[in-house]
Each structure stands twice: as structure tokens, then as C-alpha cells.
Amino acid sequence: AAQSAAESRYVFDELAWGNDETHHIAEGYRADVLLRWGDPITADAPAFDPLNQSAEAQLQQFGYNNDYVGYAEIEPGRGMLCVNHEYTNEEVMFPGLGRQDRDGFQGMTKELVDIEMAAHGGTVVEIAKGEDGLWAVDLESPRNRRITPLDTEMTFSGPAAGHVRLQTNDDPEGMRVIGTINNCAGGMTPWGTYLMAEENFHGYFWTDNLDAAGDPVMDSGNPETTSYGRYGVPGAWYAWGRYYDRFNIDAEPRMPNKYGWIVEVDPMDPDSVPVKHTALGRFRHEGAETTVSSGGQLVIYSGDDNRFDYQYKYVSAGTVSDDRAANSQLLSDGTLYVARFNDDGTVDWLPLVHGEGPLTAENGFNDQGDVVIDARLAADLLGATPMDRPEDAQPRGDGTAYIMLTNNTRRETGNAANPRPDNAFGHIIEIKEDGGDHAATRGTWDILVRCGDPELAGIGAQWNPETSENGWFGSPDNCAIDAEGRLWISTDQGSGWANTGKSDGLYALETEGDLRGHSKLFFRCPVGGELCGPYFADNDETLFLAVQHPGTDGTRNFEGFERDSTFEDPATRWPDFQDGMPPRPSVVVVTKEGGGKIAV
Ligand code: FEO
Ligand code: CA
Ligand code: CA
Ligand code: CA
């Protein structure tokens, strides 16, 4: 293994695997906390006080559960950091609550709901690199802003904008919505705007119609019943619908159609109104990573993170130019495709176009608005391949794309691209688009790795044999490609951590040559945390990572941590380690000691 480590294209000594209260980085690198939940993002924001939280304070502070991290450079060493805040963990955010479920929501007063709504969404903040090579937030920047489901107005573009199914009591035109929810991964466009993907939107919608078991059900008189059944609405994960009609489908039966989209934000203009671009389809978007085709079109890969759901890509009609306003139009006029992975190793991208094939009025699609609102139902009819939960997808400029299939323990029968029944550890697919062109409607695919412990007989893991016990991983989630074209993977094992004993982390995964399929551990999370980001910036001298929900996920399955974390008794108090301070999801900045490109 020592000899092959010397041949690795990633120059660093791999970290030892493990699981403890704090984070770890490979030797020779720094991992500094840049922004924690509650940190002020404006000069007049109050300091974080966990015992005296308010929505007003949270609206000027960094939000909860940082997931996607993007960066738009203004000049070398200065730019706008764009961070998604996917969801909240009430039991570790607020004192005295314990774990919440529908019956326990009585603890969630309107005051607490407002705080957690203000903790969702996104943060756009200017950061700069100091003389010491370390990054800091510029609190004086007029561009700093929070984007939330509490108070940020948004508009719609594309075929569903103004559609009758988007017309609600509070917006008869079907053109406006307040906020964005469950923003998981995302992307940056080639012109420096920030794409926020709305993932598990179904979980935010409430109803007072309950079945005999007390579970939420759709009102069968609602014309959206079939659609909402396919999307899992109403999930009722949060009590917001008790206090806000817009999250209560009994009061606003069409409102869920206004979520599940890709939102574009201009980080350079703090007064800009974010736009939900409906041409990209409505599903549980994990992310929205962009590239440019050989012919100059914008291409966006986006997975629908649900068991047996699909991988999509969007190709703009026009081409990317130097005109930023014209570029944003590329997100309203283009073709959405869904992937069919054929048994012969080819992939076909099937267009979701009204009037083509089965996407007609006889099948319930009256126009292209219906097609994008019900992208899942359209893709079902087209014969897309049911996948093992498509998480992030990362295109590379050479016509290659990497697709993270995180896991699917409900799979009973494999298909060629998802070969393992009871797939607890996931796999990664590599797509090579025909002619190296991301706009191609056909390509080939291969499985790069089948994840999990290669020593465990029977689970069918497959890695380059030079991979050490530190290097293999389970449940790939986010990914990035650095300036050298090398692939990096971060993991999210959820409460299944006990199956590997490893904390989530960042891995360097070879895609070329004899070491193809070889993985090395670079960074690992504190216990109960999931690793998001990753994003390379600053000519690869800076790597942004996001440690999400430290101390919460599956801690009861771990020796030394056998309990559910609460505000009073968290499994870790990372990153502050101060009495009374709950664990705080935080963005971490990785730099090389003494400077220089990472892993070079
Ligand atoms: Fe929010 Fe698919 O992870
Ligand atoms: Ca994710
Ligand atoms: Ca990514
Ligand atoms: Ca995940």
C-alpha cells in the first residue's frame, strides 16, 4: 500500500478512520471553523445566545444545518460564500424539548416555529482571506443576506409560472411564493449565481385529516391527490402548518406545488428577488451542478433523492454568454431529461416534453406546466430507471458525470445500474456522454465503486484492492471535482453509522489509471455529523466543508454515545466545547499549512 500511495494523484497521507467528539484532517492541513449556527452575518446582528433565541436575531445570524456550500469570487482572496440551511433539529436547538414527533409538537410554540423557519433557507455572506492566509467574514459587506421561508419573497419562471396549479389564496396569479425549504445541495452557475435545490419539501406540509393510526392523509376531494401521493405530501414533519396557512394543505391545497424546485439567487445583489425556475422540474432535488456543453449550452445534473426515483439533467436551448441577465433566461427555456440506464452499458436521456410519447392529455398532462409539476409521474411513464436514491451528481468538463447513489435498503431486485438488493452502502456511477458532450442524449455508464466494507463477505463491496481500511466508505452523498479534475466524495450514513463504525468524512476517489476505484480519507466529522459541501475555491488553495447536525445522527448506536442527543445532553458540544453551548453545525475551511494547492 505504501508504494501505491506514492502513485496516488492525491498527495496527502490518509487519515485514520474513527469516530469521536471532534473533527480530524490529514496531516499538514488546517481545518478552521469559519461560520457556526448563530454567528452574526451583519455588523448589527446580536451575538448568539442559545438561551435567548429569537426569529429577529436568527434572521441576521448564520442558519442551521449547513449543507451546500458555493463561492462566487469577486477578486482573488475575496468573494461571496453561499450556504444552504437544509433543516432543523429542534431537540438540540432549543432547551427542554427532547425529541419531537407529531404528538410532541405541543412544545413547538409559534415563537419556536418562527425561529426554526428563520434558521432554514440560505446565507449569502462576503468573506476575505487575510494576510495570515485565513478566511474571515466581512460583517460590513452590504451584500450579506439571509434567505428564509419566513420572509423572503420569490417569483417563478418557466412553464409552470402562473399555472392554475400554482394559484393559491394568497397569490391568485400563481407567480409568487414566500421562501424556500429543505435546501440540500445546490450549484453555482458559470455566471456566478447560486442555485438552491429544494429537496424534502413534502415534510413541511400539514393537515388535520388523520387516519385511524393518527397519520396524515390527503383529502380525497383535492384534485392533487394522485400527484401528492407520488410526492409524499403531506409529510407533517414540522408544526409550521399549525401557525401558517401556507404550510397547511387544508387551507392552501395547492401550496405544495410551489416547492420542490431549483431556486436561483444572485449573491452580488442583496435586493435581487430569488427565482424558482420551473423548467428544471419539480421533485426532491438533491442538488443542481452545472457545466457547459461542447456547443455552449448550460447543462445541469440533478438527482431526485428518494428510493427508486430518478436521475435528471437539463439542457438549455440557448448558449452561455457574458450577459448575466440573458444567462438566467437559460434556466427558463430548455429541455429536462430523465435517465434510462440500459443493460448494455448505455444510457438514454429521455425528454420530458408535453405532447411527446405518453406525455399527453389522455395521461393527465394538459401542458408543459403539468409535465414539470409532475416530473416524477412523467418520468414513470417514460420508463426511467429506478435508482438507489440519487444524491449529488457532478459533471466534469470532459463529458463525464459522477452520480452518487447513497443507499436503498428497500431494494429487493437489482437492475443493471443498481445491482445490489438491500443496498445499505450505495454505489457511484460514472457516465461518459457521447462525444464528450454534456448535451448528448446518449452515453455509456459504468459502476466506479460499490461501497461498504470490502472485508465483509456477502455485501458485494468493490474497491480498488489497494484501498486501505481507512479508505473505504458507505453512503456517498455530495461530491466535487477539483481544478485537476480529481473526484472528492463526502458521506452521509444517517443513523446507519453503526454498520461501519466510521464517522462521515471526505474521501479522495481515483477515477483514472491503475488506481481507479482507490479511496483515501482526508477529513472526518465529529460524532453524529454528516459531511456536506465540499467546494474547492481560490485556485484549489481553499476547500469549504460543511459539518451538518453534529452530535445528532444515530448516536444511540455508538459505544460511548448510546443516547439521543438533546440540548441539555448532546453527544458532542462541537465546535465550541463550552458548557451550556449546544453543538453547532458549521462551515469549515481547509487550507494547507504554509499555503499551496490542496493534495498537490
Ligand atoms: Fe438532503 Fe439527499 O440529502
Ligand atoms: Ca444530501
Ligand atoms: Ca457537489
Ligand atoms: Ca443523504
Ligand 1, atom 1: closest residue by C-alpha: 184
Is the torsion defined by CA of 357, 363, 369, 372 positive or negative?
A: negative
Q: Is the CB of 199 under 6 A from ligand 1?
A: yes
Query: What's the Cα-to-Cα distance from 442 to each of 8, 180, 311, 346, rounded to whole Å?
Result: 32, 33, 14, 7
pLDDT at site 101: 55
How many angstroms is it from 49 CA to the middle of ligand 3? 32
Q: Give every strand in the sheet of 24-25, ordered side by side.
A: 24-25, 519-524, 505-509, 487-491, 476-481
Q: Please state the atom number of ligand 1 nearest to the C-alpha of residue 184.
A: 1
- Whose atoms come closest to the Cα of 426: which ligand? 4
The average confidence (pLDDT) of the chain is: 95
- Whose atoms come closest to the Cα of 200: which ligand? 1
Q: What is the C-alpha separation between 339 and 341, in angstroms, rounded? A: 6
What length does the chain have? Answer: 600
- The grid coordinates of residue 85 equal 440551511
- The grid coordinates of residue 415 equal 437492475
pLDDT at site 464: 97
Q: What is the C-alpha separation between 388 and 399, in angstroms, rounded? A: 23
- Whose atoms come closest to the Cα of 285: which ligand? 1
Question: Is a pLDDT exceeding 70 seen at residue 444?
Answer: yes
Q: Please state the atom number of ligand 1 nearest to the C-alpha of residue 200.
A: 1
Query: What's the Cα-to-Cα distance from 480 to each of 259, 287, 333, 432, rounded to whole Å?
Result: 26, 12, 27, 17
Q: Please state the atom number of ligand 1 nearest to the C-alpha of residue 185.
A: 1
How many angstroms is it from 424 CA to the middle of ligand 4? 12
Query: Cβ(22)–Cβ(33) under 8 Å?
Result: no
How many angstroms is it from 423 CA to the middle of ligand 4? 14
How many angstroms is it from 195 CA to the middle of ligand 2? 15
How many angstroms is it from 311 CA to the middle of ligand 2? 14
For strand 275-277 and strand 153-157, is the pairing parallel, antiparallel, or unpaired? Answer: parallel
Average pLDDT over residues 572-588: 97
pLDDT at site 94: 94
pLDDT in tens, 162-204: 999 999 999 999 999 999 999 999 999 999 999 999 999 999 9
State phi, psi for 185 to the nearest 5 degrees.
-85, -170
The DSSP result for 224-288, as a single string, is THHHHHHHT-----SSHHHH-GGGBTTT-TTGGGGSSSEEEE-TT-TTPPPEEEGGG--S-B---
Query: Cβ(90)–Cβ(140) under 8 Å?
Result: no
Question: Is a pLDDT exceeding 50 seen at residue 234?
Answer: yes
Q: Work out the end-to-end distance of the chain between its first and last CA atoms, rounded to an integer number of angstroms.
A: 19
How many angstroms is it from 478 CA to the middle of ligand 2? 6
Q: From the centroid of its chain, how far is CA 187? A: 9
Contacts of 67 (CB under 8 A, 6+ apart): 83, 84, 85, 86, 183, 184, 185, 186, 532, 546, 548
Closest CA to 499 of 449, 466, 456: 456
Q: Please state the atom number of ligand 1 nearest to the C-alpha of residue 492.
A: 3
Q: From the centroid of its chain, how far is CA 513? A: 30
Flag the least confident range among 38-47, 235-244, 514-523, 550-559.
550-559
- Whose atoms come closest to the Cα of 476: which ligand? 4
Closest CA to 88 of 150, 14, 3: 150
pLDDT at site 432: 98
Contacts of 492 (CB under 8 A, 6+ apart): 391, 406, 475, 477, 478, 504, 530, 531, 532
Q: Is the CB of 305 under 6 A from ligand 1?
A: yes
Query: Cβ(477)–Cβ(457) under 8 Å?
Result: no
Name the one residue in this structure whose C-alpha cell is 387544508.
250
Contacts of 257 (CB under 8 A, 6+ apart): 160, 163, 165, 166, 224, 227, 282, 373
Query: Cβ(403)–Cβ(488) under 8 Å?
Result: no
Query: Cβ(195)–Cβ(290) under 8 Å?
Result: yes
Q: Is the CB of 433 under 6 A from ligand 1?
A: no
How many angstroms is it from 551 CA to the middle of ligand 2? 17
How many angstroms is it from 492 CA to the middle of ligand 1? 9
Q: Is the CB of 553 under 6 A from ligand 1?
A: no
| pTM (2 d.p.) | 0.97
Q: Which residues pair with 592 in a beta bridge?
A: 29
Contacts of 140 (CB under 8 A, 6+ apart): 43
Query: Cβ(97)–Cβ(113) under 8 Å?
Result: no
Q: What is the C-alpha separation between 379 and 382, in angstroms, rounded? A: 5
- Whether omega before 582 lies within 30 degrees of 0, making that bond cis, reads no
pLDDT category, 415, cuts 50, 70, 90? very high
Q: What is the C-alpha separation between 567 and 565, in angstroms, rounded? A: 7
Q: Please state the atom number of ligand 1 nearest to the C-alpha of residue 182.
A: 1
Residue type, 239: A
- Whether omega before 575 lies within 30 degrees of 0, making that bond cis, reads yes
pLDDT at site 3: 47
Q: What is the C-alpha separation between 198 and 547, in angstroms, rounded? A: 19
Query: Cβ(262)–Cβ(255) under 8 Å?
Result: no
State phi, psi for 174 to the nearest 5 degrees.
65, 35
- 3-class state of residue 164 by DSSP: helix
The DSSP result for 283-344, as a single string, is S-B---EEEE-TTSEEEEEEEB-SBT--EEEEEEEEE--S-HHHHHHTTTSEEEEEEEE-TT
pLDDT in tens, 364-401: 999 999 999 999 999 999 999 999 999 999 999 999 99
- Whose atoms come closest to the Cα of 85: which ligand? 1
Q: Is the CB of 391 under 6 A from ligand 1?
A: yes
Q: Is the CB of 198 under 6 A from ligand 1?
A: no
Question: Is a pLDDT exceeding 80 seen at residue 406?
Answer: yes
Q: Please state the atom number of ligand 1 nearest to the C-alpha of residue 406.
A: 2
How many angstroms is it from 585 CA to the middle of ligand 3? 18
Average pLDDT over residues 305-333: 97
pLDDT category, 561, cuts 50, 70, 90? confident
- The grid coordinates of residue 479 equal 461530491
pLDDT at site 372: 98
- 3-class state of residue 551 by DSSP: coil
Cβ atoms within 10 Å of 513's Cβ, excluding its own: 11
pLDDT in tens, 109-152: 999 999 999 999 999 999 999 999 999 999 999 999 999 999 99
Q: Please state the atom number of ligand 1 nearest to the C-alpha of residue 87.
A: 1
